[in-house]
Every structure is written in C-alpha cells, then in structure tokens.
Amino acid sequence: MRSHLTEGKFLVYSTIAIILLLGIHLFQQKIITLYNPENYVGFHFILEVFSISISAAIFLYALKTYGKTRSRRMLLLAFTFFIVGALDTIHTLSFKGMPFFFTESSVAKATWFWVAARVFQALFIFLILLLHDRTLKKDYRWPMFIFATTLVVLISSIFIFFEKSLPLLVIEGKGTTPLKNGFEYFVSFVQFVSLIITLYQYYLEKSEAKLAIALALVYLLLTSLIFTVYQSVFDLDNFTGHLFKAIGFYYILRGFYFISSEQEHENQKEQTIIKQLPGFVFKAIKSESEFILTYGEGNMTEHLGYDQQNLLGQPLANVFPDSQGILSDYCRLCINRQEERTFEIDLNDKVLLFSIKPFVENDRDVILGTIVDVTGMYQEPPSKQNAII
C-alpha cells in the first residue's frame, strides 16, 4: 500500500528540505572534508539517470493514459517530459569529464542544456496547471512527437555546434554569470507562481495529487535557487541541486499518478451509480446507415429481458426494434442537424422515452442517449404522430 501524502507531511518534508539546504551551507567546510569533487562526475551521472528515468516514466505513463482518455493535460505532460528527459540526457552526456559527445564535453555546453530543460519544464508545468483539461477529438500523439523531436534536435544543434558563440553561463571556480542567474531566477519565479496555483487548487479540491505536485515544486524551486550560488560544477552546491531536482521529479510522478488514480476511482463510482439507474444510458457509433451500440448501462435491459453484455456491437435499431421504425430516422436527423432530439417509441407493450444528442469522437459521428420507461404515464401507447420532437 502506498503512503498517503497529508498536509502535515507536506509541511514536514518542505521544512526538512529548507533545513537541509541551510545545514549544507552552514557546515559546508566540515562536509567538504567528506565530499571529494573528483567523484562528482559519477554522482552527477547517477542522479541525472534517476531524474531521466522518472522523466521517461512520466512520459510513458501520461502517453498511456492519454491513449485511454484523450486528455489534453496528459498529452502536454507526456511531451513536456519527453523534451525535458531528452535535454537532460544530452546535458548528462555533455557534462565536463564525460566521454566525447559530438564535441568535447564542457561546462558551457552542459550548462546551456540544463538551462533549456529547466525553462521548458517550468513554463509547461505552469501551462498544464492553468489549462482546463478537456477531451481531444483527434489523436495528436504523432504530431506532438514530431514537434518535440524537432525541437530537441534544433536546440541540441545550436548548443553543440555553436557552443563557442554562446554567452558564458558559468565561469569555473568563480561561479555563475548574471545571465545564468537571470535564467534561474526566472525559472524560480514561474515555479513559485505554479506553487501558489497548486496550493490554491488543493485548497479547493483537497486532492492528494495537488499536494504532491506542490511538494515537487518546493524542491524544484529550491533547486533553481541553489543553482545561482555554486562556484564550480563539481562543488557541493551543485550536487545538492541535482539531489533536490531528483526528489522533485519523483513527486511530480507521484502527483500525476494520484490524479489518474483519483479519476479512475471517480469513474468507478460513476459506473456504479449508472448501473443502478432505472433507465438506460448508451452510446452508439454511426457505421454506414446503422448506429452500432458500443456502450450501455442501466437496469432497463433486465426488465426488457435482455442480456446487456450481448447487446454491445449490435445495431441500435435491432436492440430496440420499434414497430414504426422511427429510431434510426431520429438518430440520422440528430446527426444531420446536430441537434438534440426527444421522442417516444413503442416496444413490447412499453412506451420508451428517448433523449439523444450528437457527438464527434475520433472523427466519427456518435449518438449519446438516455432511455426511460414512461409506460405508466399513458393509458394507451402513443402513436408515431404524438412523438415529442
């Protein structure tokens, strides 16, 4: 069982992060006797591989979730961390002390990849938090993949082949330049605003997912601030920043996993409620001249003597074969005019009230509808001329 993140734990973990950061600065001279900068390339590689692995996990998880839900938020999340993971991978391979990667590894090249990944990460997480989620009608995975890959290749080409022409971000042994600090302060500001938005959303929703994302933003905000004070890419501050970044990525993964889990739990509750409905809720996809039933819930089918599982995949007109043949006519009218329709049909000595509306799913016309048994409202079944339009 996973441990639940509570408000108390959020405050404790955030406080620990701040105390740890202060402690490293206050006792840096003592800690430095245990910390050997010569080993840092290996430590850096391990920490970055951890973060890159989490980026890959977020990308794959969000992509899989998008395949089921067509969630705009999940699509943006997937390709945000595809780009971030790719840039962090090249940052790791370009880091000073690593083997030759296109050009000789260097502080300048690795730092530009770091800054690009952090700016992109901060801006798109901010965008994901602000945008209202909605279901996309088309599958945009391939266009987004092509766009993300092109962007990574373009950024990489500039940083690798024009490295000597780019401004310095770090002067080894002296520290970060004003330009580097400007980037980091900008990222810090965006992350701070994102943190406020996330905490406000948590206040409204009381969602564990929002709390996890807020905790991730605390660690990522501290990461950006740490990266304005280091003197060398091999020093203790740089190591601390990479450690905080890895922790922040872990909580981003937890946060969006919680979102999906909470949505799945809500869907299960909704399905339970729908199954208890006295009527019938359905979805039918237009296929040539017929409407094929692809979803149906409700206990009406039991009263009509149907086996609900055997109904799926059947033409709607075969499932509810009204004597006057108006069901298919109304479905086509609904699609053609893109208007909701309400009407009644006779079926097995019962009067069924249909309410249908048009919808488009994956470029296909779909009918969404509800059916209610209103037999008791009439002394005799209505004729076709009495249908409600």
- pLDDT (tens digit per residue) in 286-298: 888 788 888 887 7
Highest-confidence range of 118-122, 267-271, 313-317, by mean pLDDT? 118-122
- Is 308 a residue whose pLDDT tops 80? no
Whether the predicted pLDDT of 244 surpasses 60:
yes
User: Does residue 296 or residue 47 have the better pLDDT?
Assistant: 47
Alpha-carbon distance of 87 to 62, in angstroms, equals: 19
For residue 376, is pLDDT > 80? no
- Rounded distance, CA 336 to CA 328, Å? 12
Q: What is the pLDDT of residues 132-154, one digit of tens each?
A: 888 787 889 999 999 999 999 99
Neighbour tally for 152: CB within 10 Å = 20
Helix, strand, coil shares, percent, the chain, to 5: 65, 15, 25
- Does residue 306 have a pLDDT over 70? no
**pLDDT at residue number 13:** 92
pLDDT level of residue 131 (50, 70, 90 thresholds):
confident
pLDDT at 1 over 50: no
169, amino acid identity: L
CB within 8 Å of 203: residues ≥ 6 apart: none
Spatial contact of 207 and 258, defined as CB atoms under 8 Å apart: yes
Lowest-confidence range among 159-163, 270-274, 306-310?
A: 270-274
Mean pLDDT of 302-326: 73
Where is average pLDDT lowest: 6-10, 179-183, 379-383? 379-383
389 pLDDT higher than 80: no
Tell me: the pLDDT tens digits for 247-282?
A: 999 888 888 765 555 555 555 555 555 555 667 888
Distance CA 177, CA 87 (A): 21
- Percentage with pLDDT > 90 across the chain: 36
- For the full predicted model, state whether its pTM sits above 0.85: no
Look at residue 309 in the predicted model and tell me its pLDDT.
Answer: 63
Predicted local confidence at residue 385, as pLDDT: 47
pLDDT digits (tens, 9 = 90+) for 333-368: 899 888 898 988 887 778 888 899 988 876 788 999
- 27, pLDDT greater than 60: yes
Say how far apart CA 317 and CA 163 lie, in whole Å: 67
pLDDT of 303: 64
Residue 187 pLDDT > 90: yes
Mean pLDDT of 237-241: 86
| pLDDT score of 189 | 97
Answer yes or no: is pLDDT of 182 > 80.
Answer: yes
* CB-based contact 160:103 (threshold 8 Å): yes
Query: What is the chain's Cα-based Rg?
Result: 29
The pLDDT value recorded for residue 92 is 94
d(CA 227, CA 242): 9
Compute the distance between CA of residue 239 and CA of residue 214 in angstroms, rounded to an integer: 23
- Compute the mean pLDDT over every residue in the chain, rounded to the nearest whole number: 84
pLDDT for the residue numbered 275: 57
pLDDT at 323: 57
Q: What is the pLDDT of residue 41?
A: 82
For residues 61-83, average pLDDT: 89
Give pLDDT tens digits for 208-217: 888 999 999 9
